[in-house]
Amino acid sequence: MEKNIGRINVNAIGRLREAILGGDQKACFLEREELLHRHSSETMSLPHHERYVHEFELLCDGLSCPCDDENPFAGKFVEGCWEHPFGFSRVPGGLWSNGHITHDWPRILTKGLMDFVVETSSASERLGTSQAAYFATCTRRCVDAVARFAGRFADAAKASGKILASSSLRLVPYYPAYDFFSALQSMWFWQFVTSGICGARDFALGRLDEYLFPYYVNDLHDNLLTKDEAIELLAMFFLKTNELAGTGTDDYQSKPTPCQATKQYVTLRGDKFNVVTGMIVEAQRLCGLTQPTLNFRMSKGDSDASWNLVGRAAAMPTIPNIFNSDVITSALVRAGIPSEVADGFDFTACNRVNLPQQLYNRMDRIDHFNDCVRWMMEGLHSLEAPSSMDDVIAAIGKVAENKMREFAVATSRTFTDALSFSLDSLAVTRCVAACKDISQGGADMYRWQHHIFVGIATMGDSLTAIDQLVFREKRFPYKEFLAIVEADFDGHEALRQEILTKVPKYGNDDDEADRWAVAVATCLLDAMEEVGRQEGYIMVASLYSLSQHHRFGRGLGATPDGRKAGMPLSENMSPTYGRDRRGVTAVMKSVAKLPLARTVCGGLNIKFSQRLRPEELKNLARGFFAQGGLHVGFTLVTREELEDARVNPEKYRTLMVRKFGFSEYYVALSPEYQQEIIDRT
């Protein structure tokens, strides 16, 4: 390693951060789009199964290799704007990727990409099928193309004085990493290629501290690296991940690149923290940007020292996720995942659980955001004169079961023998061993579906209102009350205000209100598991919304909780904004009553209008998990800051807030979501 690096160069880190913050969010990876566009007729003239590798080689051999900044790591795209900012339509059979996957980092770092070539070549000879031979050939050609691309960057890095990057890229990622720097360079180059060339978002960085630990210890022992130098390298590496997405958000003014507003997740496991874990937290503080998102997996047996680190991270502006590992692992095992596989879970995107090297978490086939508030309304209207709330819950469950069965049947797939290949397959051990692409069922070790239930507070509060006004107080016949709701409370504004202000609400540790949120969540989970038994699926669930609470709300009429037609539903596991009035501990107690032991992810985003000490944040999260809570993320910002940021965005470029399962720059959010953050209690 180069000597005389000295202590952490915060000035260089600051300059690189400013360059990212000041980048053009309308710029695409210009050379990539121009090359693909210029050669599209050539690509289209090829047989369908040859187009993917053709485009991949075209880009690896044709893109330039800029090395023009202070970052020691090499791997960068030329950016610019052109008349087709999202490129031309994808060529059928050409480059594609679904992303949302954790690469096989242990293999890439310890054996190199060459190991994929060796294994697929051997497997192809053993299997003797045309698909296996094709898969092995595509693997070799793509890996060779990456090696050539890395070699060209090595030449460019040498010419720019980046000696470490140059010497590393002569070997990695084709060969194993040999020290701390080469491990990071290897990871970045593969992330750079798969995110930017193949083109998809959310390729996760996985258990980064565990991967890097042996390299750090060896370099430290050999006096090749100091702790400060390692932290600086980590910060520089984190800055590179931010180049992919810039400052765009997931659904508003995203950067027009194949990976758009990609999120880069690091999973840090409390019972396996090591010295590199703390360095990662410090490096992310120095980086000071949204990426990567630090996801902490914490268990009841984790040490005070581990929890203290979580508290320090929670107090940082970059806002990590904190998850209850015990709840998630037990839910996976309950669903049918072997315990040794469940224990290895990490996160790929949006609080989304993944089984690295075991599962292809293809979002369009296994994830389903359920419009279950609409299901609730269908269930309510299916009844003429229910005798009790048990009838109401049963009707909702019947609708939910039918809807989820429709999805299960619609997404059952049969696979053809057509030749198919993508680099995503190299992230799944089963695909590599079988020389079978993910699109052909190569990764289908588990027949898995993930149902995401949206609007839990809206449903719970609606059922509370029905219980109180129809059944207990008997102020309205059932059908009459539903008619008032269906008419958007027209002529009944006083009743609507009474429901909003007088009827108990989920989120205040009020058993009367919370019981119906628990009841409807349990009903949905029961229906899902029944469908799984009948259709032969491993079913996992989340009480989560991402942005769907807005989309579903826009298309839905009024609901019995006093919500007007077209208004958003409640977000994630949170109470409806403004209806929790008894403080944060009451919110956490209400959320912890939900059947979270049967779910694998979710989101509770809490906003504080004052700065809290790490010790306070640690204790809140730890206490919440002791009650059975699943997830929490803290935003520390005042309403005044948020209001000022809307008027003077240039002063708040790095102000970060929790959106759903990740952090975003507040000033980059749409006006709609800026208001949503302000409206949080």
Single pTM value for the model = 0.95
Q: Judge contact between 153 and 193, C-beta under 8 A.
A: no
Give, in order, the Cα–Cα distances in Å from 463 to each of 147, 470, 660: 60, 10, 25
Nearest to 318 by CA among 631, 616, 663: 663
The CB density around residue 40, as the number of other CB atoms within 10 Å, is 16
In a domain, 232, yes or no: no
**pLDDT one-digit tens code per residue, 6-24:** 589 999 999 999 999 999 9
pLDDT greater than 90 at residue 416 = no
The CB density around residue 91, as the number of other CB atoms within 10 Å, is 20
Lowest mean pLDDT among 110-119, 280-289, 351-360, 385-394: 351-360
Task: Give the ranges where 602-654 is alpha helix by DSSP (H).
Answer: 614-626, 639-647
Q: What is the DSSP letter of 206?
A: B
Chain-centre distance for alpha carbon 53: 28
pLDDT greater than 50 at residue 1 = no
Chain-centre distance for alpha carbon 149: 29
Instruction: Give the integer Cα–Cα distance in Å for 130 and 619.
Output: 58
Q: Which of 182, 204, 226 is the last residue of a domain?
A: 204
In a domain, 316, yes or no: no
Nearest to 174 by CA among 185, 162, 163, 164: 185
Task: Look up residue 608 and give its two tokens.
Answer: 């504080």
Q: Which of 162, 184, 204 is the last residue of a domain?
A: 204
**pLDDT one-digit tens code per residue, 18-55:** 999 999 988 999 999 999 999 999 999 999 999 999 99
* Torsion of Cα atoms, 350 then 353 then 358 then 362, to 10°: -40
Higher pLDDT, 351 or 466: 466
pLDDT greater than 50 at residue 139 = yes
The predicted structure's pLDDT at residue 3: 37
The predicted structure's pLDDT at residue 252: 82
The predicted structure's pLDDT at residue 613: 95
Nearest to 150 by CA among 205, 120, 190: 190
Q: Judge contact between 289 and 654, C-beta under 8 A.
A: yes
The predicted structure's pLDDT at residue 659: 81
**pLDDT one-digit tens code per residue, 525-559:** 999 999 999 999 999 999 999 889 999 999 999 99
Confidence of residue 414 (pLDDT cuts 50, 70, 90): low
Q: Which of 189, 204, 219 is the last residue of a domain?
A: 204
In a domain, 2, yes or no: no
In a domain, 658, yes or no: yes
The CB density around residue 554, as the number of other CB atoms within 10 Å, is 12
Q: To the nearest whole percent, how much of the chain has pLDDT over 70?
A: 97
Instruction: Give the integer Cα–Cα distance in Å for 257 and 239.
Output: 18
The predicted structure's pLDDT at residue 364: 62
Higher pLDDT, 305 or 86: 305
In a domain, 643, yes or no: yes
**pLDDT one-digit tens code per residue, 202-216:** 899 999 999 999 999
Host domain of residue 46: 10-204
In a domain, 231, yes or no: no
The predicted structure's pLDDT at residue 415: 65
Burial of 610 from C-beta contacts in 10 A (0-12 / 13-18 / 19+): exposed
Name the average pLDDT for the chain.
93
Output Rg (C-alpha) for the chain, integer angstroms: 26
Higher pLDDT, 488 or 412: 488
Count of domains forming the chain:
2
Q: Is the dihedral of CA 513, 518, 521, 522 positive or negative?
A: negative
In a domain, 340, yes or no: no
Residues for the chain: how many in total? 681
Q: Judge contact between 71 and 18, C-beta under 8 A.
A: no
* Torsion of Cα atoms, 452 then 455 then 459 then 461, to 10°: 140
pLDDT greater than 50 at residue 233 = yes
- What CATH code is carried by the domain that includes residue 596? 3.20.70.20
pLDDT greater than 60 at residue 4 = no
Q: To the nearest whole percent, how much of the chain has pLDDT over 90?
A: 80
The predicted structure's pLDDT at residue 86: 66
The predicted structure's pLDDT at residue 576: 95
Question: For 179-197, what is the mean pLDDT?
Answer: 97
The predicted structure's pLDDT at residue 363: 63
In a domain, 284, yes or no: no
Confidence of residue 249 (pLDDT cuts 50, 70, 90): confident
Q: Is the dihedral of CA 503, 509, 511, 516 positive or negative?
A: positive
pLDDT greater than 80 at residue 163 = yes
pLDDT greater than 80 at residue 661 = no
